[in-house]
Structure 1
Amino acid sequence: MTHKTMPFARSLLAATLVGAFLAGCASKPPEPEWEMNAHGSAQKALDAYLSGNARVDKLEWERARAEVARTGRPDLLARLELLRCAAQVASLVVEPCTAFEALRQDAAPPERAYADHLAGRALTAPEVALLPAAQRAVATQGASGAALAAIEDPLSRLVAAGVLLQAGRADPAVIATATDTASAQGWRRPLMAWLLLQVQRAEAAGDKDAAERLRRRVAVVELAGGSK
């Protein structure tokens, strides 16, 4: 995983996903092998997913799942699945987080709240308080562009943008911010998704010049190759 995706993975894993992976410190016993392996594979899988490398993405997620499965703890596996679902939301893959839902009954309240947030559902105040700090502002009804721009971590910002879109609260500024964020990081998969959304909206508005300009950007991204 590149240093660009590391902050998001660390904050998400620590706050709502596999916090046990990062719980060790020098004064405690070394992390078990499964923790180190699962954490490393999850990071590699996330980076591969964002860059559009389907082969590595699939392989590393399978490795991460296998390592977590060694614990026999469905709650930890549920946390891991949420990381993948978050990356999908950032890339506008709008579909149920079925892998998590199969484990929901064993998931802790923060994971259940985060899954509902990713699905664009309205949360109660206590549920919002369980979310990662970067997501709390956008989970509040009425929040949109300003709250999104305040999120420092690029991937957290993209996840929040995807949530706003699913909730019907993504104005043009939100979409532009998401596109610029993915572009700046060179994340092919989410960039292509947000650009194509902009093309659709430009065409719907009858703005042929903007649509053509965006299609030229799409053509450049396609040069990067990768697997969907």
Structure 2
Amino acid sequence: MGLAACSSKPAVPDWQMNAHASSQKAVEAYLSGNNRVQALEWELARAEVARTGRLDLLARLELLRCAAHVASLDVQPCSEFERLRTDAAPAEQAYADYLAGRVQPAQIALLPEAQRKVAAAGDAASVTSVADPLSQLVAAGVLLKTGRITPPAIAQAVETASAQGWRRPLMAWLGVQAQRADAAGDASAAAALRRRIAVVEQSVPAR
């Protein structure tokens, strides 16, 4: 008798394991600023999901990519998801609207748990209650997009990106801080922030 026969749990399909691994590598590479690796891993993840013929799962994958863009303050539309919106589940449609800054009250219950409190409270103080680093940056990005971000929440986003070594969102959030320092006439703070940005810009993403 083979070992597989002793297990009551069905094996996880290869495509699912491969898609998960590639999507996680793609997100990490994107946040780290490694464009070559993130493009390759997204392509691999899409190919694995496409094996199922399930458009709803492809839509979910595209939302993960869009969330990483929001965390990094990349404001481009989530166009690949929108092509799949008709076939996406209501929860995915709600999350896409949340990322775009237009979620409706009736959709909040459909959001990922980490984002529900932020969406319901509608204030920057709720960002600190989000434990997962990427989810926290996504929440901060949505609040910035909707004009509800505060300086403490921006500082939290900076420190979260810094702690993770995520150079792409770190440079974006440091840029927001520098712009606000300029607007406040604080030349010393703006200069210090730009020195920090220069250090991050000079770092080379891991290959």
Query: TM-score, normalized by length of structure 1?
Result: 0.85
| Unmatched segments (≥5 aa) in structure 1 | 1-25
User: What corresponds to 1:96 in structure 2?
Assistant: 77
CA RMSD of aligned residues (A): 1.3
Per chain length, whose mean CA-contact separation is higher, i.e. which structure has more relative contact order (CA < 8 Å, sep 6+)?
1
User: What corresponds to 1:137 in structure 2?
Assistant: 117
How much has 1:141 moved relative to structure 2? 5.0
1:221 aligns with 2:168: no
Paired with 2:95 and 2:51, the residues of 1 have a C-alpha distance of 24
Alignment of 1:57-206 (within 5 A): 57-124=38-105, 126-145=106-125, 147-206=126-185
Moved over 4 A (4+): none
Identity of paired residues, percent?
67
Query: Matched residue of 1:140: which SS?
Result: helix
Paired with 2:78 and 2:201, the residues of 1 have a C-alpha distance of 27
Paired with 1:61 and 1:136, the residues of 2 have a C-alpha distance of 27
CA contact (8 A) 1:123 1:139 kept: no
Amino acid at match of 1:135: Q
The structure whose Rg is larger is 2
CA distance 1:163–1:27, shift in 2 (3 Å) = farther
Paired with 1:83 and 1:135, the residues of 2 have a C-alpha distance of 14
CA contact (8 A) 1:90 1:161 kept: yes
When the two structures are aligned, how many residues end up with a matched partner? 200
CA contact (8 A) 1:192 1:221 kept: yes
Query: Matched residue of 2:171: which SS?
Result: helix
Per-residue CA shift, 1:76-110, capped at 9, x if unaligned? 10000000000000000012100100000000000
Paired with 1:122 and 1:58, the residues of 2 have a C-alpha distance of 29
Amino acid at match of 2:179: Q
| Unmatched segments (≥5 aa) in structure 2 | 1-6
Amino acid at match of 1:140: A
Paired with 1:27 and 1:166, the residues of 2 have a C-alpha distance of 47
Amino acid at match of 2:35: A
Paired with 2:109 and 2:186, the residues of 1 have a C-alpha distance of 41
Greater fraction of residues in helix: 2
How much has 1:28 moved relative to structure 2? 2.4
Paired with 2:147 and 2:99, the residues of 1 have a C-alpha distance of 13
Query: TM-score, normalized by length of structure 2?
Result: 0.93
Query: Matched residue of 1:157: which SS?
Result: helix
User: What corresponds to 2:3 in structure 1?
Assistant: none
Per-residue CA shift, 1:7-30, capped at 9, x if unaligned? xxxxxxxxxxxxxxxxxxx63211
